[in-house]
Amino acid sequence: MVLFQDIALHGDSIGSIYIEADLGDVSDRLSRLVMIDFIVLVGSLAVVFVLSSRLQRVVSEPIRELAEMAATSRA
């Protein structure tokens, strides 16, 4: 992006200002943020997987034992 702007004082032009900018920094920052988001997502998924596998045993073990007791009492 290139910007020229005249500077006026009391109606007289006393100079101009020139600004040049590109989106390279914004693009670099965006790609860095996407990488950080991806790492956080993968880390969160790993934690959720570990917690869910442990909690699944806590919840399903009593149900399995109850089903086994019900099966042996029928026989």
* pTM summary value: 0.55
Query: Residues 39-49: pLDDT tens digits?
Result: 999 999 999 99
Helix (H, G, I), strand (E, B) or coil at 19: strand
> What pLDDT does 23 receive?
84
Burial degree of 41 (CB within 10 A; 0-12, 13-18, 19+): exposed
